[in-house]
Each structure stands twice: as C-alpha cells, then as structure tokens.
Amino acid sequence: MKKTVYSICGMCAVRCPVSVTVEGKEPVWIEGNSNDGGMGKSLCAKGGATLSQRLDSQRPTSPMIRTGERGEGQWKHVSWDEAFDYITDKLKGIIAKDGARSVIFSDRGGPFADLRKAFMKAIGSPNYHNHDCTCGRNTHHASKSVYGLGRKGFAYDYKNANHIVLFGRNITESIKVKEAKGFLKGVNNGAHVTYIDPRVTNTTGKATRYWQIKPGTDYALLLGITHYILKKEYYDKAFVKKWVTGLPKLKTFLKPYTPEWAEKETGIPADEIKAFCEEINEDRPKVIFHPGWMLARYSDSFYASRMIHILNALMGSIEIPGGLFYPKTPKDAGSAGLKSLGADIPAPEEKERADGCGTRYPHFDKGPGMFQLVYEAIETGKPYPIKAYFVHRHNPLIALPDSDEQKRILNKLDLIVATDVYFSEIAWFADVILPESTYIERDSILRTEKGLKPGFGRRQKCVEPINDTKAGWEIYVELAKRMGKGEYFPYESIEDIWNYQLQDTKVKIEDFDEKGFVKLAKDPIWYDRSKLKFGTDSGKIEIVNKKWEDMGIPCLQPYEPPAEPAGNGEYRLIFGRCGFQAHGMHHNNPILSQLLGSNKLWINADEAARLGIGDGDEVEVVAGDTKGTIEAKVTDFIHPQAVFMLHGFGKDIPAQERAFGKGLADQVFMKGQLKKWDKAGGGISLMESFVTVKALS
Ligand SMILES: Nc1nc2c(c(=O)[nH]1)N[C@H]1C(S)=C(S)[C@@H](COP(=O)(O)OP(=O)(O)OC[C@H]3O[C@@H](n4cnc5c(=O)[nH]c(N)nc54)[C@H](O)[C@@H]3O)O[C@H]1N2
Ligand SMILES: Nc1nc2c(c(=O)[nH]1)N[C@H]1C(S)=C(S)[C@@H](COP(=O)(O)OP(=O)(O)OC[C@H]3O[C@@H](n4cnc5c(=O)[nH]c(N)nc54)[C@H](O)[C@@H]3O)O[C@H]1N2
Ligand code: SF4
Ligand SMILES: [Mo]
C-alpha cells in the first residue's frame, strides 16, 4: 500500500516542503509538496538525494564514544543509555566546578532551534550560538542599523519585479527552491536582471547585464550608483520624504564618489553605471536590490550591505508587489503564535555571554551570538572558563576558517558532544557522537512560516529509522531530564510538544494532515503603506542611526580599497557553491558524490598563461605552510585578481570513503582568518584571504 506523507526537507537549511511516497515501510519517491503553489513538485538535486542519504552506510549508525585521541578516529559503539550517562556524568562535574555558563552550544539555527535554545536555558547557560557569523551577520546588522529590523525583516517578490539586482547572489545555483522559481518567473515576465560577480555563474546566463567586478569593491560600486541616483534625482521623493531620515548627510558624504571614481575602483565603466541608473529609474519602484550573502564576507561588507538597504528605500520599493515585503506573522493574521518551548524556563543567572555580544559588543544581537569569538574565550578563559561544547547540525571545522587553529583551541575543552547525521569533521573530533535520524526518519517541533500568508508547518517522520538513531527532540528532552531539568520538558511524545506549541492557537495537530502546513490567512496580507513599521527609535528608515553611532559604529564610512594580491602568482581566494551540494555536507552522499566528485581551481586564462598553466593541469595552492594540489580550470570567466574553488571538498575523514581526499578544502587556506572579521557587522571576512598558485613541473 502506498501513502503520501508531507514533511519538510532537511538536506539543507532552506527546509522546503516535501511530499514523500511510502510503500510498506520504505520511502520510494520524493518531490516538492505541491500544496504549496510556490514550490510545486520541484526539488533541487540535494533534496532528490534524500532517500540515498538514508541508505548511506558510511555514516554513524549508533552512538559512539571516543577511545583514542581527539580526531584520531578510534571509537566504541555504545547504547544510548551509555552515551547519555557518559555525557551527563561529565557535564554535572563541569557545572559543579565551573558553573553552567562554561557550557556552549553551536547550532545551525533555524525554525526548529527553539528546543535547543530551551535546553541551554534549562541548563543555565547564556552561550547559545547559531551559524550566522559565517553567513548573514553583516547584512543582518546592516539591516538593523538602517531599518531597525533584522535581515529577515523583508522578503522579495521577484516574480513581479521589473529589475532584480544581485551582488554575488547566485540565485540559480545557491538555491532556495521557491525563491529560484520566483526569480525565473520574474525573468520570464521580462524583468531586467543585473548580476555582479567577479565570476560568471549560471545566474549570469539569466541576467540582462553582467559586471565582472574587481573582488571586494562592491561598496565602491554602490557608492557610485547611489551618488548618481541622488544627483539625477532618480528616487521616490514622496516615499523618502515620509519615511527616510538623513538624506542631506548622505548627499554630502557621497560627493566624491562619482561613477567615474567608482570605475577606477571596480573596473566597471562609468557610462555603464550611469546607463544602469537610468534603467533603474524607469523600472522603479519595482526594483529589488538583494542585500547579499557573499557580499557579507569582506571586511567592509556591513557598509556595502547598508548601501543596498538604503538603495531599496530610495527606490520606494518597500511593501509593494515586485519589491520588498514584510513577511507577515501569525499575529498579522489575527492568531497567536506557537508557544516557545523555553517560555516557562527562567533565564540563566549569568547575563554576560562569553562572546561579549550585547555587552563588550553592544551592537551585536545576543540571540545567535558570534561563534568566532568563542575561540578567544576558550583560549583566554575570559570572561570566564569554557569547558563543554554541544554542537548540533553545525560544522565549524568547515564553516569557520583555519581548521587547524580551531582544533588546537577546541582541544582545551573537557567535553565535546556532536549531534550529526554524518561523520562530519566536528563529529570526528568530538568525544561523543549522537547520531540523529535522517530527516525523513524523524519528527521535528512545529515551525512558524512567515510570509504574505503566514502559518505553521510540520516536519513529520515518514518512515522508521534504519539505524540506532534518534530524533533531536528525543535527545535533548532525555538529556534535560537526566540533568534534573525534567520539569521543563514534560514530554513523552512529539504530540506532547506539538500540543504545547499550539496551546495558544486555534490550530489542532490534525489540521496539518491535509496539506502538511496550516495557513492562517486566505489572502495575501499587505500593510497599509501609510502606516509602515520600522524598528528604529524614530520609527523611520534612518540613514544615520544615532543609536549605532553612539555604540561606536559610524553609519557613513569612507571607502577604503581592498588589499591587493602581491602578484607573482598570488590571488584572492574566493569561493561559493553549486546546485548539487550544501556547504561541506553531502560530498559523500552515494548519488551526489557521483554528480560532482571533486572541485577545481578556477583561474583567469591570461594569468594561467603567464604561470604556464594549462586547462586540466594539476597545480599547487599554497598559503603559509598549507599546501595542496588541485586541477586547474582555466577560464575567462573569472577576474584576474581572484581564483575560485567550490566550498566543501577536500574531505579528510577516512570513514567518508567516497569523498576522502577528493579536491581541496578552501577553509584550510584561510590562515589567521579566525581573527579577521568585520568589526561593524560581526561577520567573518572569509573572502579576505590570499593564496599562491604554482604550476607543477
Ligand atoms: N570557507 C567557507 N566557509 C563557509 C562558507 C563557504 O562557502 N566557504 N559558507 C558559509 C555559509 S553561507 C554557511 S551558512 C555556513 C554553513 O556551515 P554550517 O552551518 O556548519 O552548515 P551545514 O553545512 O549546513 O551543516 C553542518 C552540519 O550539519 C550536519 N547535518 C546535516 N544534516 C543533519 C541533520 O539532519 N541532523 C543533524 N543533527 N546534523 C545534520 C552536517 O553533517 C554538518 O556537520 O558555512 C559558512 N562557511
Ligand atoms: N545548492 C546550494 N544552495 C544553497 C546553499 C548550498 O550550500 N548549496 N547554501 C545556502 C546558504 S546557507 C546560503 S548563505 C546561500 C548563499 O548564496 P550565495 O551568496 O548566492 O552563495 P555562493 O554560491 O557562495 O555565491 C557567492 C558568489 O559570490 C561571488 N563573489 C566573490 N567575491 C565577490 C565580490 O567581491 N563581489 C561580488 N559581487 N561577488 C563576489 C562568488 O564568485 C560566488 O559566485 O545559498 C543557500 N543555498
Ligand atoms: S533547497 Fe533543496 S536541499 Fe534545500 S531544503 Fe529545498 S529541496 Fe531540500
Ligand atoms: Mo549561509
């Protein structure tokens, strides 16, 4: 007998709605959950590899405790009872000696993280982190400084846009399925697309204008664009008058930054910049400047991203079809939200986070913290000692730079517990691996789905686990109970959790059966544009935000050119992703490893000729004492100052036999980068590293 089970994909952090066909006890088919019109039946390649993830035998099949040195790969398989006992015995000792604040947690974050946050709150530590110091922190804080709203404060209506401007946002390969489909609809509807990247990507193929920008100079381009738009008055005066403060200061600040000046910095001709501004003037207000992600990996990304947020305001594209819109919450649809699992747990006694977010760094959001700063705290014991580390669905050894330096510091800890589905680099380095069931084998807590029609979504178990694995909720509820915090986790089943979450709403668990999600509004909700809400003190969009300036972060920062490669075969190392992989995760997946087995080093054709490198040659890449060899991809499609690698390859975990030793890992070449981060935005400056490339004779 066949049945359809609706769930939520977990192959990457986008978490698309899916529909799984189960025959008997086996999953036999997966596709997008077409009850969601934006999704249809589409999935990306990684989502399509879901069933093979479950069948992959080269992943942890039961809890494991380390028997050799950290990272050596000597393990004993243990029962869940033994694993829980081992962890709680150690943890109780650590807390008795150094206090609960000595426990840190790093997590992917996202809509199911509420339970993990509740666990940390119950344990009594303020030190919960998500991954965002390597992802969107700069854009997030930039958005807060302009709108008083975080980076998820707006969503983008690509489908109805007249012009989509993407700074390194490789929307057709670095995929969010619904977003990519919306983008392609926009393209088919005739939208202009301006794509800016030192490298030609698939998205370039959908663009009406491509600029091969000199790496690290987006801020200069944005200053030039904004200068010209203000000079020519190509902006929405009525919107700006009503909603934007600080325009005169911006005009004065921008005086020197003409398109001609920007041409010198970026390599993009002034005439083209002007032509772009003229086109934008015709296309506005339905213009979307995407605030970027990879734009958030340079040391001035906070400022580049701020300028993008300001440009959106100048376009007047806020809360209109074809522009930016507020993702509406259950409250906007007249419903209560999901009750937080930590709502009834008292806040930890310790108020100061070890990473200093909210205290030493008052302008950084406390919630997700800034994980790179934890390394300093572990190393120095300041502001207090850090002894135990829980890591869940996060792989700092891949996601943060300089894995060797990270290992040296993490080795000072007394306990590392990794909850993972794979033998990831961090799991391999841990003391205990708690194997989570693959996502189609587990239930998760309910999530809130914000949007024009807000609602709630449910990931449910489609099939039983084939190994001795558990769902995350089972793991943390059990750990909390064994740590004497059971009163805050009185749950015996996932239904107990779902009912707790739904208690203030009118929604019942059965309501999810029909479609996999529940919508709280029939029609799209748009705010009245005369009553917009911004989170700043003035309630307006603030070009100069006094609160930020008082915290030591100037809002209008003069441009400083990026560091230049020294020549003689030195290049800036840039990176990105492709459609078949998610970060450093599925490189050992039986299907995905066949689609793309290794990465190559993209190098500009003129540069390659100078160095005597031919397409397909093996070349050596060097940074400090780190060396590796990789196949060169010689191409005109990359700026001469940069070389490019796909992220996530170069696996060195022997248990991952299919991926072991294939290609090179970008993060190992980022020497000393753990300490290089944007002081205004907080994000790690991952793209500010240089390597030397040599032909192998
Ligand atoms: N050099 C370099 N560094 C980067 C990037 C880059 O391109 N280059 N990209 C940056 C970006 S944008 C991001 S978002 C971060 C991403 O880096 P991370 O936040 O670390 O993200 P992921 O790769 O999504 O997931 C990490 C871990 O989750 C595990 N995992 C996968 N599925 C499951 C599951 O179902 N359950 C559990 N418990 N674990 C699971 C994986 O095995 C892996 O160990 O990296 C950042 N760092
Ligand atoms: N298939 C797949 N999809 C994903 C992910 C995944 O791992 N795999 N990860 C998800 C996550 S967590 C994220 S954050 C997003 C990331 O989405 P994107 O930010 O679109 O990600 P990347 O593919 O890393 O693209 C980065 C691009 O920035 C370019 N770049 C480098 N330097 C510069 C510069 O100075 N200026 C400009 N303008 N561009 C530059 C690089 O050449 C590269 O093409 O993707 C999400 N979607
Ligand atoms: S983008 Fe692909 S892998 Fe990520 S959640 Fe959606 S279908 Fe799954
Ligand atoms: Mo990301």
For residue 399, the ligand closest to its alpha carbon is 1
- Give me the pLDDT at residue 291, please: 87
Is the model's pLDDT at 697 over the cut of 90?
no
Among protein residues, the one with the nearest Cα to ligand 2's atom 25 is 576
- C-alpha of residue 653 to centroid of ligand 1, in Å: 16
Tokens of 130: 């998500």
For CA atoms 535, 677, 213, 195, give the dihedral sign.
negative
Helix or strand run (H / E) with residue 4:
strand 2-8
User: Which amino acid is residue 409, in one-letter code?
Assistant: I
End-to-end, the C-alpha distance of the chain in Å comes to 62
- The residue ranges of every structural domain in the chain are 2-55, 64-134+349-507, 155-325+527-550, 570-695
What average pLDDT does the structure give for the chain? 97
- C-alpha of residue 689 to centroid of ligand 1, in Å: 20
- Give me the pLDDT at residue 293, please: 75
Q: Which DSSP category does 286 fall into?
A: S
How far is the C-alpha of 17 from the C-alpha of 382, rounded, in Å?
Answer: 43
- Give me the pLDDT at residue 292, please: 77
- C-alpha of residue 347 to centroid of ligand 3, in Å: 35
406-435 confidence digits (pLDDT tens): 999 999 999 999 999 999 999 999 999 999
111-131 confidence digits (pLDDT tens): 999 999 999 999 999 999 999
How far is the C-alpha of 249 from the C-alpha of 270, rounded, in Å?
Answer: 24
% of the chain surpassing 90 pLDDT = 97
- C-alpha of residue 108 to centroid of ligand 1, in Å: 7
Residues with CB under 6 A from ligand 2: 12-13, 135, 167-170, 173-176, 196-199, 201, 213, 215-216, 218, 293-295, 574, 576-577, 579, 581-583, 644, 687
571-607 confidence digits (pLDDT tens): 999 999 999 999 999 999 999 999 999 999 999 999 9
- Give me the pLDDT at residue 295, please: 73
How far is the C-alpha of 301 from the C-alpha of 591, rounded, in Å?
Answer: 36
Q: Count CB-CB contacts under 10 A for residue 654.
A: 11
- C-alpha of residue 124 to centroid of ligand 3, in Å: 34
DSSP SS3 for 278: helix
585 touches ligand 3 (CB under 6 Å): no
- C-alpha of residue 134 to centroid of ligand 4, in Å: 7
- Give me the pLDDT at residue 294, please: 63
Do 2-55 and 155-325+527-550 agree at the fold level? Answer: no
Q: What is the 3-state secondary structure (H, E, C) of 87-129?
A: HHHHHHHHHHHHCHHHEEEEECCCCCCHHHHHHHHHHCCCCEE
582 touches ligand 1 (CB under 6 Å): yes
Residue from 135, 294, 645, 647 to probe ligand 2 pocket by mutation (most atoms less than 8 Å from CB): 294
So what CATH class is 570-695? mainly beta
- C-alpha of residue 135 to centroid of ligand 4, in Å: 4
Q: Are 444 and 8 in contact (CB under 8 A)?
A: yes
Q: 155-325+527-550 falls under which CATH superfamily?
A: Dimethylsulfoxide Reductase, domain 2 (3.40.228.10)
Nearest Cα to 283, choosing from 416, 206, 191?
A: 191
Helix or strand run (H / E) with residue 7:
strand 2-8
Helix or strand run (H / E) with residue 137:
helix 137-147
- Give me the pLDDT at residue 3, please: 96
Q: Which DSSP category does 66 fall into?
A: E
Residue from 196, 197, 268, 395 to probe ligand 2 pocket by mutation (most atoms less than 8 Å from CB): 197
- Give me the pLDDT at residue 530, please: 93
592 touches ligand 3 (CB under 6 Å): no
User: Which amino acid is residue 345, in one-letter code?
Assistant: I
Is the model's pLDDT at 332 over the cut of 80?
yes
Average pLDDT value for residue range 37-51: 96
C-alpha atoms less than 13 angstroms from C-alpha of 688 in its C-beta half-sphere: 22
Is the model's pLDDT at 296 over the cut of 90?
no
How far is the C-alpha of 647 from the C-alpha of 215, rounded, in Å?
Answer: 17
Pick the CATH number of 64-134+349-507 from 3.60.21.10, 3.40.50.740, 3.40.50.80, 3.40.50.300: 3.40.50.740
For residue 586, the ligand closest to its alpha carbon is 1
> Tokens 């390969």 correspond to what residue?
173
Nearest Cα to 86, choosing from 99, 101, 76, 73?
A: 76
352-367 confidence digits (pLDDT tens): 999 999 999 999 999 8
46 touches ligand 3 (CB under 6 Å): yes
Residue from 172, 175, 447, 595 to probe ligand 3 pocket by mutation (most atoms less than 8 Å from CB): 175
Nearest Cα to 114, choosing from 130, 99, 137?
A: 130
Q: Atom of ligand 3 at shortest distance to CA of 14? A: 5
47 touches ligand 3 (CB under 6 Å): yes
Backbone dihedral region for residue 314 (phi beyond 0: left; psi -120 to 50: alpha; all else: beta): alpha
CATH no. for 2-55: 2.20.25.90
Average pLDDT value for residue range 290-303: 85
- Give me the pLDDT at residue 461, please: 98
Pairing label, strands 26-32, 17-23 = antiparallel
399 touches ligand 1 (CB under 6 Å): yes
For residue 109, the ligand closest to its alpha carbon is 1
Angle at 654 between CA 650 and CA 660, to 5 degrees: 30
Nearest Cα to 214, choosing from 560, 638, 600?
A: 638
- Give me the pLDDT at residue 376, please: 96
104 touches ligand 3 (CB under 6 Å): no
- C-alpha of residue 189 to centroid of ligand 4, in Å: 28
% of the chain surpassing 70 pLDDT = 100
For residue 201, the ligand closest to its alpha carbon is 2
Q: Atom of ligand 2 at shortest distance to CA of 638? A: 42
Q: At what angle do helices 259-266 and 270-283 cross, to 10 degrees?
A: 120
3-13 confidence digits (pLDDT tens): 999 999 999 99
CB contact set of 275 (below 8 Å; sequence gap of 6+): none
DSSP SS3 for 159: helix
Q: Are 515 and 6 in contact (CB under 8 A)?
A: yes
Nearest Cα to 465, choosing from 131, 34, 62?
A: 62
- C-alpha of residue 237 to centroid of ligand 4, in Å: 35
Q: Are 466 and 441 in contact (CB under 8 A)?
A: yes
- Concatenated DSSP letters for 622-660? EETTEEEEEEEEEESSB-TTEEEEETT--B--TT-TTTB
For CA atoms 133, 365, 15, 311, give the dihedral sign.
negative
Average pLDDT value for residue range 615-642: 97
Q: Atom of ligand 2 at shortest distance to CA of 199? A: 42
Is the model's pLDDT at 631 over the cut of 80?
yes
For residue 173, the ligand closest to its alpha carbon is 2
For residue 437, the ligand closest to its alpha carbon is 1
For residue 686, the ligand closest to its alpha carbon is 1
Question: What is the maximal distance between C-alpha atoms in the chain?
Answer: 71
Among protein residues, the one with the nearest Cα to ligand 2's atom 27 is 168
Is the model's pLDDT at 695 over the cut of 70?
yes
Among protein residues, the one with the nearest Cα to ligand 1's atom 26 is 394
15 touches ligand 3 (CB under 6 Å): yes
User: Which amino acid is residue 223, in one-letter code?
Assistant: L
